[in-house]
A and B are shown apart, each in its own frame.
Chain A
Amino acid sequence: MPGKLKVKIVAGRHLPVMDRASDLTDAFVEVKFGNTTFKTDVYPKSLNPQWNSEWFKFEVDDEELQDEPLQITVLDHDTYSANDAIGKVYIDIDPLLYSEAATVISGWFPIYDTIHGIRGEINVVVKVDLFNDLNRFRQSSCGVKFFCTTSIPKCYRAVVIHGFVEELVVNEDPEYQWIDRIRTPRASNEARQRLISLMSGELQRKIGLKVLEMRGNAVVGYLQCFDLEGESGLVVRAIGTACTLDKLSNTSAFLPACNSPSKEMKEIPFNEDPNPNTYSSGPSTPLKNQTYSFSPSKSYSRQSSSSDTDLSLTPKTGMGSGSAGKEGGPFKTLLRQQTQSALEQREFPFFTLTTFPPGFLVHVGGVVSARSVKLLDRIHNPDEPETRDAWWAEIRQEIKSHAKALGCHAVVGYSESTSICEEVCILSASGTAAVLNPRFLQDGTMEGCLEQRLSWQPGFFSIGSEKGEVDFFPQSQDSSSLLGIEEASPPGCGFCHIPYDELNMPFPAHLTYCYNCRKQKVPDVLFTTIDLPVEAIVVGKGCLIQARLCRLKKKAQAEANATSISNLLPFMEYEVHTQLMNKLKLRGMNALFGLRIQITVGENMLMGLASATGVYLAALPTPGGIQIAGKTPNDGTYEQHISHMQKKINDTIAKNKELYEINPPELPEEIIGSPIPEPRQRSRLLRSQSESSDEVTELDLSHGKKDAFVLEIDDTDAMEDVHSLLTDVPPPSGFYSCNTEIMPGINNWTPEIQMFTAVRVSRLSNINPTNQTLNKNFNDLCENLLKSLYFKLRSMVPCCLCHVNFTVALPEDELVQIAVTAVAITYDKNQALQANKAPTEKSQQRASTDNEEQLQFPLELCSDPLSSQPFSPAKEVLEGASSHTGIPAAQRATSVDYSSFADRCNSWIELIKLKAQTIRRGSIKTTTSLEKASPLAEGYLRHRSVPSGTNSTVSVVKMTPLSFLPGAKITKYLGIINMFFIRETTSLREEGGVSGFLHAFIAEVFAMVRAHVAALGGNAVVSYIMKQCVFMENPNKNQAQCLINVSGDAVVFVRESELEVLPPQPAAAAQPTGAAGDVTT
């Protein structure tokens, strides 16, 4: 019996009128977990019932705790007929299962009904008492932390980044079961919501188990998706990056902070030693220091034994990196060997992260992607989803082999997606091939770990700032100095250097010496799916670049359909790529970050939408312009037309360069010692690495008739293409946009943010659509959407739209749905203006010093508030007793009842005791506030104590798709938010039509996310993402249905300006409780 879940139903407010006669409601509540249900009393005749129930206790094992959601149903009691449901609240209790996060969930939750939307609110308090479980073969993985954030979370540091974890579970979709014909839409929706909630709990637990197997304690960059395969079922799949994280805090500067007993038990053995005997030594005190004292040579043998010949896959291009690596010189071989050894054991050396600790990324090869078209069939045995697993395994293998072809051993910024239409499904995966620093990857290699930890002091972080060359690879330095080619990777350009061998390139590319260090070769253009590395040197600002494309397809069935789609895909990839390349050149830039290509399949067309952030990397050569060549040069007017067009293009490039402040320093050619690319030379087709993606379809793009530099106008289509290039309107002045975390070139953010979701569904009304008209329509749709965003947010100027994320769906024949989620962040114009005055200083500028600081000095910043905090007496007592358990001072406090465990060994008691304390602490807090009949979440109390100028009763919860909040410091991660909602209506017109319906639903989803975060004690959601928004309507029946899936990380943040004021507070908060709660040690 590893856990006890306790739930208290306090009160309700603003309930709907359920009894027309009295205009009142007789409400009661059912609390269900697993198969156990409790009920409150009926609170008669009130719209604001005060139940103040007892504690409902569920005794469950932790497997169940992880899988099941807590289900709270509010009903109206009816003496004569069946009780009417008012609505439900699902609470994911996962955040309570690792104690670093929340200790109690307490607050007002919107009562949600899938037919009526939000109907009042209910106040609930939820707590979990976890008991320790030593069973090594258990099925639960409590304590593994999950983060949606695709970088190392701000108040943690990565000890080891283990690598890729994936899992999928399948089930039948309740919507398509026979029973659905006889039950109400509400019952069907609720069955679906509950099932998906269960499935994602199970999925998370299974991933957690994999992480534990890999000896990690966290999953970063966790991305969970649903595939609604209709008749053939429901697939929930997730990918993530397993890591071993250490919490940064002052009290445990040398100790990894683990204050959960369950976590403790897991982590210690894994960190220390693969030796199975550790269980006996694990719990001994003092725990943490031992982690470091272990011998540093643990897995050396494993490391050196591996070699290139171990490569299991020979890339089909025939230009294997295996051999290329060897020819490339000792350094590369060595580096490769080391990296490989670390990655070799892994099936897929993939990382879902997009931002990395400095030095992690050694070289970047380019974008790799793979797509495959599959026909869906019914999943016969849900317990063994072999086909889906096999499909993904196939795609991942392909990605892996592409990466190898680029001379890379790893894929970073990796993501997977699907697009389903009827029975056809396109599976896509993409990432960025990269060479990584092995030191972060060697699990169990204590040397790496140890060094990492010990050197992970501010000194370590100074890498990449002032020092030109840094002793970053102690192992590799010898070899590189011998060769004299690479004296470590110079900061700011190292990642641009090609990882593949220039004599044996996997594809034709044009190389020059790096414009920054002039020692290594770089490609002319670089495409990646990751965020701009912090150390990258950029010129000017970045901008959002999109390629948009439609392709008509004949309606077909089954295999014929799948075949026609697979035939179209390579052409789409090619065109998307060409568009991106042209638009990049048009802006005078040379690199794309955060590239995301989405191909959506509909009944009679395919749509491609690629978004990325263009920048000018100082290390790469200046891009040439775009030249237009006419096919028939003898026609005078035609010639004139061409030259007119050419002038327009040249003007646009010049204008863009000014707009984005791209004025790279002039370099004399001799120094570079490499030819500047000649625009006119067509034989030297300049293509980026991203084209490896096209290898999926084995298309030789070098024979394409248009290249990136010369646009040939040989027919009207081509003319249209050029025109469409020029239709992209730059954002109005004061606006910038990007789809990455940070806007290259802007670093003076002010704290105002506005996250939003915009959805548009448009009808393509053409009777005889052609690709061209469709393209234009689609292009207009996107441009208008952007324009309308700029208009809406005009009051925030100057600001930047960050993390602009477009998703395209084709819900019906002629309907295109575009959903955009992004955040607008204001920045200080004055500072920007100052920078303008000194363009020379600005021209060579770090990507974002702001972010750099956040990444590079987390230790100092994090520890500050705690170090200045006076030790409370209670804490000292505990500290003496619990001997370095590494619990942050803020969490130490108050009373205990652990005596029942006294027969166990000492250190155990300490741990359990501390666990009990954290739980108890929560309860004390809530009971005191309960007396005031208004239980408040921790965060709310905290929030209120912060002078925020609010006198409203609802605490403000910020939401952002970014992993950080400008001008604020994230002090705590409370857990992952992963919510799935269905909303349906049978009175569409009455609810304001489709727009009114969806508007209300999105607002409701936001409200429910905020309420959950506030109940966890948080005041923000970071890395927020709307992963799915499936909208279906049937206007004739006056019906509509929508499914939305969102996720993010609930956090507590403190404004940096308040950081100095705040530190005494936790101590002050701890003291009264410490005094009240008897320290019964």
Chain B
Amino acid sequence: MSSDLDVFVGNTTLIDEEVYRLWLDGHSVAEAVARRLRGGLLEREATSVAVLQSDTRDHYRTFQMLERLLHAPPRLLQQLLFQIPPERQALLVQRYYAFDEALARELLGKKLSKGTKKELDEVSARTGVGIRSCRRQFDNFKRVFKAVEELRGPLAENIQQLFLLPPSLARDYAAIVFFANSRFETGKRRLQFLSFGDFAACAQSMMAHWSQGALAPEAAEPDGDLPKSFLQDLKELKVLVTDKDLLDQHKSLVCSALRGKISVYNELEANFKALSRALVNVGGKLTHARDVRDFFVDLVEKVIEPCRSDKWSPGDLRLFLQHYTAAPRNLPGFRHQALWERYMAAISACLLRMFHD
């Protein structure tokens, strides 16, 4: 006797966290049942496989119906179809938008387009995340991206409001949007040592210090784009490396301050000009979209790698950046101290975060 139709509907919608996890991971009903069986549920509850199948199907149907609403979480709160307690609603949303960092790392800086979606098979193979789950997460990224693309104000806050995500998750999404927007290159071999967390932290400091929202909350431009005028202004900083006098004075100021305080003083003295050139030029290039892509590559190639080969310690780098940023204040004729500090605040934060093995 086979059951053609088998449904269970509660006035309060039942949500089984375990089944939800399996569904989010992209398992089919049969796979989910198999996994639940392996979990020993059968013995614990003294029930039958048929019951487990029926239960899993019910949950899957519910989730499929909920998915439409999960695409716009505020609707989940307003909808009348499913009566779900608020804490459960929050859980549903949070889990739905949670993502695998390995996957996010792969997609960072990529255009969230159909083309990228087609490549998800490979990404899935590389990261070990199920293909269906990959697609769902990709769609999440894209949905969030589309939703906040045109919005003004702080990115993370917008995301938090539109998708009702917890603050930390919203910040991560903001980073993803920021990367997708600026299309930073992250896939190069020499960047492989950086995790999603590193990039997310960098994105956050960049948005925090550079975006218009950081200065004026009612900014005219979306938060995800770096303000054009700011990038334009960065060109002014080139004077620090093009003007020979300034460069020398800068060096002597930094070196005198650091003498005896860092272990790699000699190396610093030798490399200062190269380092400074790299640090300033990274900013100067940001006006060209093509060069923007290389922002992280440049930082790693021209700053982190040399320092690492010279065996700098993170403490050394911190001290150096501190004084390197502060020193121009005492440079005669340098009028861009505010701009310089704003620029270096993000660069320092990024470098410190990225400076590891």
Contact = CB atoms under 8 A, between A and B. Distances in A.
A754 B83 CA distance: 11
Contact of B61 (A755, A757, A951, A995): A995
Contact of A1006 (B3, B6, B9, B46): B9
B11 A780 contact: no
A194 interface: no
Interface stretch (B50-58, B174-182, B280-288): B50-58
Contacts of A760: 3, 5-7
B89 A762 contact: no
Contact of B11 (A732, A756, A763, A998): A756
Most B Cβ at <10 Å: residue of A787, A817, A951? A787
B94 to A, nearest CB: 15
B79 interface: yes
A954 interface: yes
Given A787-B48, A791-B45, A761 B5 contact: yes
B331 to A, nearest CB: 54
A732 B43 CA distance: 12
B4 A994 contact: yes
A850 to B, nearest CB: 22
B1 A762 contact: yes
Interface string A760-804: 111111000000000001001100100111111010000000000
A250 B57 CA distance: 52
B334 interface: no
Contacts, number: 137
Contacts of A115: none
Contacts of A794: 45
B6 A781 contact: no
A815 interface: yes
A954 B78 contact: yes
Nearest to B2: A763
Most B Cβ at <10 Å: residue of A108, A1002, A1003? A1003
Contact of B83 (A781, A789, A1006, A1031): A1006
Nearest to B12: A754
B75 interface: yes
A995 B2 CA distance: 13
B54 A788 contact: yes
Most B Cβ at <10 Å: residue of A121, A817, A954? A954
B16 to A, nearest CB: 8
A765 B1 contact: yes
B86 interface: yes
Nearest to B3: A762
A765 B47 contact: no
Contacts of A788: 8, 47, 50-51, 54-55
B1 A759 contact: no
A1003 B86 contact: no
A374 B350 CA distance: 85
A761 B4 contact: yes
A1010 B54 CA distance: 27
Interface string A849-862: 00000000000000
A548 B80 CA distance: 38
B64 interface: yes
A13 B78 contact: yes
Given A754-B12, A999-B7, A1006-B11, A992 B81 contact: no
B65 interface: yes
A764 B77 contact: no
B230 interface: no
B86 A952 contact: yes
Contacts of B13: 1003
Interface bracket on B: 35 or more
Nearest to B80: A1007
B1 A777 contact: yes
Contact of A14 (B48, B52, B64, B75): B75
Contact of A952 (B8, B55, B64, B77): B77
Nearest to B64: A992
Nearest to A1009: B11
A108 B13 CA distance: 20
A1011 B80 contact: yes
B10 interface: yes
A302 B264 CA distance: 117
Interface in A979-1004: 992, 994-996, 998-1000, 1002-1004
A88 to B, nearest CB: 16
A1010 B89 CA distance: 18
B82 interface: yes
Nearest to A729: B46
Interface stretch (A518-526, A576-584, A956-964, A1064-1072): A956-964
Contacts of A791: 45, 47, 51-52, 55
B326 interface: no
A118 B45 contact: no
Given A761-B4, A777-B1, A954-B79, A787 B51 contact: yes
B5 A759 contact: yes
A754 B11 contact: yes
B14 interface: yes
Contact of B51 (A784, A949, A956, A1004): A784
Interface string B6-34: 11111111100000000000000000000
Contact of A1002 (B3, B9, B51): B9
Contacts of B57: 995
Interface string B54-93: 1101100110110000000001011111110110010000
B318 to A, nearest CB: 43
Contacts of B86: 949-952
A758 interface: yes
Contacts of A754: 10-12, 14
A958 B85 CA distance: 12
A762 B54 CA distance: 13
A407 interface: no
Given A787-B51, A788-B8, A996-B61, A957 B1 contact: no
Contacts of A1003: 9, 13, 65, 81-82
A888 to B, nearest CB: 30
A995 B6 contact: yes
Contacts of B6: 759-761, 995
A788 B53 CA distance: 10
A937 B55 CA distance: 36
A1006 B13 CA distance: 11
Contacts of B9: 756-758, 999, 1002-1003, 1006
Contacts of A994: 4-5
A953 interface: yes
Most B Cβ at <10 Å: residue of A765, A1004, A1006, A1007? A1006
Contact of A781 (B1, B14, B51, B75): B1
A118 B58 CA distance: 20
Interface in A174-190: none
Contacts of B5: 759-761, 817, 994-995, 998, 1031
B299 to A, nearest CB: 42
Nearest to A1000: B65
Contacts of A758: 7-9
The 6 closest A-B pairs by CB, nearest first: A761-B5, A756-B10, A1002-B9, A999-B7, A994-B5, A755-B11
25 contacts: A13-B78, A756-B8, A760-B6, A760-B7, A762-B3, A763-B4, A780-B1, A784-B51, A791-B45, A791-B51, A792-B8, A950-B85, A956-B85, A957-B83, A958-B11, A992-B61, A995-B7, A995-B57, A995-B61, A999-B62, A1000-B65, A1002-B7, A1003-B82, A1010-B80, A1010-B83
Interface of A: 13-14, 108, 110, 118, 121, 732, 754-765, 777, 780-781, 784, 787-792, 794, 815, 817, 949-954, 956-959, 992, 994-996, 998-1000, 1002-1004, 1006-1007, 1010-1011, 1031
Given A756-B8, A757-B8, A949-B86, 13 more contacts: A14-B79, A732-B46, A754-B12, A758-B7, A762-B1, A784-B48, A788-B51, A794-B45, A952-B78, A954-B77, A999-B62, A1003-B9, A1006-B11
